[in-house]
Amino acid sequence: MTLSVALGTDHGGFSLKTELLPWLQGQGYNVLDMGAYALDPDDDYPDCSELVAQAVTSGEAQRGILVCGSGVGVCIVANKVPGVRACLCHDIYSARQGVEHDDMNVLCLGALIIRVELAKELLTAFLSAQFSSKERYHRRLQKVLAIESKSIIGKRDRTG
């Protein structure tokens, strides 16, 4: 089965995305291009972040990749969507370990922080990693999901 990957960016990550998209396709991934489709200095990172996060939580994509200038903004927004575990990673260990230990499903990158070759290495580590079968990681993930669930229920209670 070919892994489906949702890829999105704002203007700050547009140039890096244009290099990563064909590379990912060349690696055999089914890439869902969630935009931006043209360089627009007035676009906003919450828009692409939400699209990628929704693609991951709906099952349309198994993993998501978000790029902005620093990677911070897209990471914040993606983590607002229940079911998303997005992390900003600029080192190979974290990109792999985030999946293996924490079931990370969205990788966030800062185009102003890293160059394309490192980005490709990070994507390789992220996309090839699998969540560990060790009990302690599953136990911890269940605790994370319980916190997320309480937050969702608490929000509903506060809003009616």
Residues identified as active-site:
68, 101
Count of alpha carbons within 13 Å of 34, Cβ hemisphere only? 27
For the chain, percent helix, then strand, then coil, each to nearest 5?
Answer: 55, 15, 30
Cβ burial, residue 59 (10 Å; 0-12/13-18/19+) = exposed
| Token pair 């692409």 in the structure block, residue | 48
